[in-house]
């Protein structure tokens, strides 16, 4: 960038003052802001219902159990977000959770060293699952939805092979570290995830993931390797799913090769509620974490509102629709006012 | 003699058996501004894509600095100092202007992480260095205008200090002031020895900036010139003389009824406007961009709501709540940006042409495919749409032919009132000529046409009357015969000059 040439005369002058940085920040993070607002509203509603029915406010036990029950979905939501940001979709999230959960139940019964080694190995399996997806999508040029639908079944099948019957036992120490049942230690996950996401967003890989989600052709013309980025995104997603599988094993203190299945769809819900665009290129993993908490809170609210469990999914569906429509409308209003 | 900065030798490229470029050669030197001109379909864009590394040629050779190169992608070209602003912009819409400008060269802070605040600051400095103060580096690309995006894309390319800069129709979305800015930048680059190759459809621009001009026609170069007048250039590009571009004006019958009236119409950016549009008339709307033309069209088409005033169709007062209502009343709009306003690019010519009359072609819920085909074929035949067949995706046609398909859709729907908004923008000379003939023919068949154009010459030749708008009102009304482009321009800027 030399400055040797003389400045040309014509300048495109600014027509007015610029928007404040805060205004830019708000508009560019409107999805995140909305999910936080939604979560706060859900928590308030939950507390009110709890107070009315239980005649006291929810306490440490409720907080701890909500956190521990939600963390697997939170990680599944991050896994989904990473892939959706590249304009893909990962239906195998549930399969990876099944597999890693089953492996955890089978292998985590030794001492601390052995447990640590197996934990690392299980995370590695998650990464390998992601690698398989990524290679099939990026190198095989196959549709993500087809690839991951197939690998979902494959991972589920392997999980059943690993742990044919629900069971196994997870040591208490493992549970206390990953999903402490007595104290809301899991609350620490949220700032930790926020920090990791902020770092990710500031790495070359993070920028590349967003860039190819925006426009893969344009990104590649600026030297970003689309294949490499897609594969790495699926691998990171596999890692996050494996984290979910491990935490799920820790909370349930046992394994079940089918318990992860629901996470395929709920992870998409968490990501979308969290402001991740299914068209790729925008959103945040932290948003998906908040999205996961919103879905948990909705279940809690329905419980305390004495909704017949038979109709629970009906109301969940209504809520999801209302939330997405509202987010869309508010998002558009914010953009239009600029 | 200097070594050629860039050289294309007999390059050719075919897409699916159709040659986009048969055998084109040209040479541009360091410190030269070289224009590639020709009709759409002459192969200019393909040539630029090959030179920029986006497309690999099937045959021929590209030489940079005298050495043959094989470009595996745009990045390979960048390494050789060749940067391209492609016609399809490559900015990432949901990232900020700053992130786009500094993509892959972001400033790093602690732990080697990208420093986002510094990115914005550096981008700000970069924009300021090139005299761009009106773009906020912290804004998302999605939230800035098309012209601003074009400017940002240009700044990104020139900020890499290119040895060679390719610009494919850089001015098509820019207004006068921005074109001036761009030319300032180009002159500065030329001084430092950069070779600049650009394409444009605007002869005035080409004359004012280009050192040499290479004319392309039918996928090959027909010659490089240092001094050539417009008549000769048009003849070489099209084989037609410039006077023959416009059809003769068909006189209006004395008792033509007013089919569309605006009475004291006011709305966003439109202060108060009244006019009558008669059957068989081409009524021009002219003036500088941003003075309410677009809004007048939107009001008439039910796409914006009037604050006051009245629209009358066939003498009856109408209030359109949506474009659908306007279409039902026989009003059709052909916008300048057919990509986002009207055509389904992935769908066929047939589907696009018959979209508005599907109901008529459907019997008991079943679409009559034969009637649909006939209807679409009639559009292709009567409007001379150049397409390989009615089954071809509309997106594969050239801009002018896309316009014809859209116009054909409304003619099938028997719309009598046609609102044509800058329909010839970015369209090549030969297709422009066909569109002019079409406008003239449709008017003589009794259609009433409201015609906005950013090209005053076009208005002067094509319209029975021209209303020149300024700041949301009609500043002048000119009547044929004897309208000149100068009259229109001077009416549009009179106050500006006086001020």
Residue B447 contacts A, CB cutoff 8 Å? no
Categorise residue A256: left if φ over 0, alpha if ψ from -120 to 50, beta otherwise: beta
Residue A210 contacts B, CB cutoff 8 Å? yes
Across the interface, do A8 and B131 touch by the CB < 8 Å criterion?
A: yes
Scan residues 257-286 of A and list those with Cβ closer than 8 Å to B.
277, 281-282
pLDDT (tens digit, 9 = 90+) per residue, B250-270?
888 778 888 999 999 888 888
Please report whether residue A32 resides in a domain. no
Distance between CA A294 and CA A73 in Å, rounded?
11
Give DSSP secondary structure letters for A28-59. Answer: HTHHHHHHHHHHHHHHHHHHHHHHHHHSS---
Please report whether residue A273 resides in a domain. yes
- pLDDT in the model for residue B499: 37
Domains of chain B with CATH codes: 4-94+140-239 (3.40.50.300), 246-330+416-498 (3.40.50.300)
Going by pLDDT thresholds of 50, 70 and 90, the confidence category of residue B407 is confident
pLDDT (tens digit, 9 = 90+) per residue, A135-165?
999 999 999 999 999 999 999 999 999 999 9
Across the interface, do A221 and B73 touch by the CB < 8 Å criterion?
A: yes
Going by pLDDT thresholds of 50, 70 and 90, the confidence category of residue B17 is low
User: Looking at the predicted structure, is the pLDDT value of residue A335 above 90?
Assistant: no
Please report whether residue A291 resides in a domain. no
Across the interface, do B104 and A224 touch by the CB < 8 Å criterion?
A: yes
Please report whether residue A164 resides in a domain. yes
- pLDDT in the model for residue A4: 46
Q: Which residues of A touch B134 (CB under 8 A)?
A: 12-15
User: Looking at the predicted structure, is the pLDDT value of residue A324 above 50?
Assistant: yes
Percent of chain B with pLDDT over 70: 95
User: Looking at the predicted structure, is the pLDDT value of residue A69 above 60?
Assistant: yes
pTM confidence score:
0.78
Residue B96 contacts A, CB cutoff 8 Å? yes
Using alpha carbons, list the distances in angstroms from residue B477 to A219, B275, B489: 49, 10, 12
pLDDT (tens digit, 9 = 90+) per residue, A80-134?
999 999 999 999 999 999 999 999 999 998 888 999 999 999 999 999 999 999 9
Please report whether residue A16 resides in a domain. no
Say if CB B120 and CB B95 are below 8 A apart.
no
Please report whether residue A30 resides in a domain. no
Scan residues 36-95 of B and list those with Cβ closer than 8 Å to A.
54, 73-75, 78, 89-95
Please report whether residue A274 resides in a domain. yes
Counting one residue from A and one from B, how many pairs have CB atoms under 8 Å apart? 119
- State whether residue B385 is helix, strand or coil: coil
Pairing between β-strand B4-15 and β-strand B18-29 as defined by DSSP bridges: antiparallel
Going by pLDDT thresholds of 50, 70 and 90, the confidence category of residue B239 is low
Minimal C-alpha gap between A288 and chain B (Å): 18
Closest B-chain CA to A22? B138
Across the interface, do B104 and A223 touch by the CB < 8 Å criterion?
A: yes
Residue B110 contacts A, CB cutoff 8 Å? no
Tell me the mean pLDDT in the region B480-493. 80
Q: Which residues of B touch A221 (CB under 8 A)?
A: 54, 73-75, 90
Site of tokens 């859209």: B406
For residue A89, give the nearest of A198, A213, A199, A245 by alpha carbon: A213
Say if CB B461 and CB B247 are below 8 A apart.
no
Closest A-chain CA to B120? A21
Site of tokens 């069971």: A167
Q: Which residues of B touch A11 (CB under 8 A)?
A: 131-133, 181
User: Looking at the predicted structure, is the pLDDT value of residue B1 above 70?
Assistant: no
Across the interface, do B191 and A10 touch by the CB < 8 Å criterion?
A: no
Q: Which residues of B touch A28 (CB under 8 A)?
A: 96, 140
Which tokens hold the place of B424?
A: 């010839």
- pLDDT in the model for residue A3: 44
Helix (H) or strand (E) holding B308: strand B308-313
Please report whether residue A333 resides in a domain. no
Q: Which residues of A touch B111 (CB under 8 A)?
A: 199
Of A27, A204, A214, the CB nearest to B92: A214
Residue B241 contacts A, CB cutoff 8 Å? no
Residue A220 contacts B, CB cutoff 8 Å? yes
- pLDDT in the model for residue B193: 94
Going by pLDDT thresholds of 50, 70 and 90, the confidence category of residue B337 is low
Of B94, B151, B159, the CB nearest to A282: B94
> How large is the ipTM?
0.92
Across the interface, do A217 and B104 touch by the CB < 8 Å criterion?
A: no
In this structure, what are the phi and psi dihedrals at residue B107, rounded to the nearest 5 degrees?
A: -65, 140
- pLDDT in the model for residue B498: 40
Say if CB B159 and CB B126 are below 8 A apart.
yes
Distance between CA A72 and CA A292 in Å, rounded?
9
User: Looking at the predicted structure, is the pLDDT value of residue B317 above 50?
Assistant: yes
The count of domains in chain A is 1
Going by pLDDT thresholds of 50, 70 and 90, the confidence category of residue A2 is very low
Residue A15 contacts B, CB cutoff 8 Å? yes
Give DSSP secondary structure letters for B182-244. Answer: HHHHHHHHHHTT-EEEEE-S-HHHHHHH-SEEEEEETTEEEEEESS--HHHHHHHHHSS-GGG
* Mean pLDDT for all residues in chain B: 87
Across the interface, do B93 and A223 touch by the CB < 8 Å criterion?
A: no
User: Looking at the predicted structure, is the pLDDT value of residue B243 above 70?
Assistant: no
For residue A213, give the nearest of A230, A197, A200 by alpha carbon: A230
Q: Which residues of B touch A21 (CB under 8 A)?
A: 138
User: What residues make up the domain containing A183?
Assistant: 71-286
Residue B99 contacts A, CB cutoff 8 Å? yes
User: Looking at the predicted structure, is the pLDDT value of residue B206 above 70?
Assistant: yes
Pairing between β-strand B195-199 and β-strand B164-168 as defined by DSSP bridges: parallel
Give DSSP secondary structure letters for B85-121. Answer: E-SS----TTSBHHHHHTTT---B-GGG-B-HHHHHH
DSSP 8-state secondary structure symbol assigned to residue B13: E
pLDDT (tens digit, 9 = 90+) per residue, B345-374?
888 889 888 888 888 888 888 888 888 888
Going by pLDDT thresholds of 50, 70 and 90, the confidence category of residue B496 is very low
């Amino acid at each position: 960038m030399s400055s040797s040439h003389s400045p040309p005369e014509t300048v495109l002058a600014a027509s007015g003052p610029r928007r404040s940085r805060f205004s830019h920040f708000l508009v560019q993070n409107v999805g995140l802001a909305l999910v936080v607002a939604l979560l706060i509203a859900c928590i308030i509603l939950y507390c009110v219902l709890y107070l009315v029915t239980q005649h006291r406010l929810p306490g440490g036990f409720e907080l701890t159990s909500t956190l521990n029950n939600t963390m697997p979905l939170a990680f599944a939501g991050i896994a989904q977000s990473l892939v959706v940001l590249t304009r893909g979709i990962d239906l195998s999230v549930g399969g990876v959770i099944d597999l890693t959960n089953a492996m955890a139940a089978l292998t985590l019964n030794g001492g601390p060293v052995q447990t640590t080694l197996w934990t690392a190995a299980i995370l590695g399996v998650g990464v390998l699952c992601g690698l398989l997806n990524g290679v099939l999508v990026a190198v095989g040029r196959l549709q993500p939805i087809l690839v991951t639908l197939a690998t979902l079944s494959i991972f589920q099948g392997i999980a059943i092979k690993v742990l044919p019957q629900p069971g196994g036992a997870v040591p208490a120490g493992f549970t206390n570290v990953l999903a402490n049942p007595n104290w809301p230690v899991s609350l620490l996950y949220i700032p930790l995830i926020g920090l990791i996401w902020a770092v990710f967003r500031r790495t070359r890989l993070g920028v590349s993931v967003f860039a190819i989600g925006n426009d893969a052709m344009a990104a590649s013309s600026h030297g970003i390797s689309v294949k490499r980025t897609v594969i790495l995104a699926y691998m990171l997603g596999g890692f996050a799913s494996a984290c979910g599988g491990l935490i799920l094993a820790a909370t349930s203190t046992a394994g079940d090769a089918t318990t992860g299945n629901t996470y395929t769809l709920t992870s998409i819900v968490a990501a979308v509620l969290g402001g991740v665009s299914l068209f790729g290129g925008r959103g945040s993993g932290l948003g998906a974490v908040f999205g996961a908490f919103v879905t948990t809170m909705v279940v809690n609210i329905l419980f305390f509102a004495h909704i017949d469990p038979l109709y629970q999914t009906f109301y969940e569906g209504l809520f999801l629709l209302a939330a997405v429509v509202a987010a869309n409308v508010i998002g558009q209003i914010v953009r239009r006012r600029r | 003699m200097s070594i050629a900065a860039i050289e294309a030798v007999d390059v050719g490229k075919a897409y699916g058996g159709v040659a986009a470029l048969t055998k084109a050669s040209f040479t541009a030197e360091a410190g030269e501004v070289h224009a590639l001109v020709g009709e759409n379909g002459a192969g200019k864009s393909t040539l630029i894509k090959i030179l920029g590394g986006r497309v690999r040629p099937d045959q021929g050779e590209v030489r940079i600095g005298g050495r043959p190169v094989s470009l595996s992608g745009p990045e390979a070209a960048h390494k050789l100092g060749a940067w391209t602003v492609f016609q399809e912009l490559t900015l990432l819409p949901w990232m900020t202007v700053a992130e786009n400008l500094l993509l892959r060269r972001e400033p790093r802070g602690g732990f080697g992480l990208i420093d986002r605040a510094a990115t914005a600051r550096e981008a700000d400095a970069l924009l300021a260095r090139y005299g761009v103060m009106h773009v906020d580096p912290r804004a998302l690309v999605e939230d800035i205008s098309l012209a601003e995006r074009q400017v940002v894309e240009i700044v990104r390319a020139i900020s890499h200090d290119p040895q060679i800069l390719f610009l494919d129709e850089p001015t098509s979305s820019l207004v006068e002031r921005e074109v001036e800015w761009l030319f300032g930048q180009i002159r500065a680059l030329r001084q430092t020895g950069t070779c600049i190759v650009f394409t444009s459809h605007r002869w005035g621009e080409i004359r004012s900036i280009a050192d040499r001009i290479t004319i392309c026609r039918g996928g090959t170069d027909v010659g490089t010139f240092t001094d050539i007048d417009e008549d000769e250039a048009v003849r070489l590009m099209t084989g037609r003389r410039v006077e023959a571009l416009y059809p003769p004006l068909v006189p209006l019958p004395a008792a033509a009824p007013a089919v569309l009236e605006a009475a004291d119409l006011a709305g966003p950016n439109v202060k108060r406007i009244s006019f009558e549009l008669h059957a068989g008339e081409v009524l021009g709307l002219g003036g500088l961009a941003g003075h309410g033309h677009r809004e007048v069209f939107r009001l008439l088409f039910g796409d914006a709501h009037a604050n006051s005033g009245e629209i009358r169709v066939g003498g009856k007062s109408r209030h359109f709540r949506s474009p659908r209502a306007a279409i039902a009343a026989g009003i059709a709009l052909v916008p300048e940006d057919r990509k986002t306003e009207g055509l389904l690019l992935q769908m066929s010519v047939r589907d696009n042409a018959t979209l508005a009359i599907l109901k008529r072609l459907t019997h008991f819920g079943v679409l009559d495919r034969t009637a649909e085909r006939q209807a679409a074929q009639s559009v292709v035949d009567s409007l001379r749409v150049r397409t390989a067949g009615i089954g071809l995706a509309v997106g594969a046609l050239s801009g002018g032919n896309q316009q014809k398909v859209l116009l054909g859709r409304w003619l099938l729907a028997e719309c009598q009132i046609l609102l044509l908004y800058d329909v010839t923008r970015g369209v090549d000379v030969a297709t422009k000529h066909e569109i002019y003939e079409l406008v003239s023919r449709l008017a003589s068949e009794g259609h009433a046409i409201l015609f906005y154009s950013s090209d005053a010459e076009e208005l002067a030749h094509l319209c029975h009357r021209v209303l020149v708008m300024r700041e949301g009102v009609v500043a002048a009304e000119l009547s044929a015969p004897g309208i000149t482009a100068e009259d229109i321009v001077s009416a549009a800027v009179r106050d500006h000059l006086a001020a």
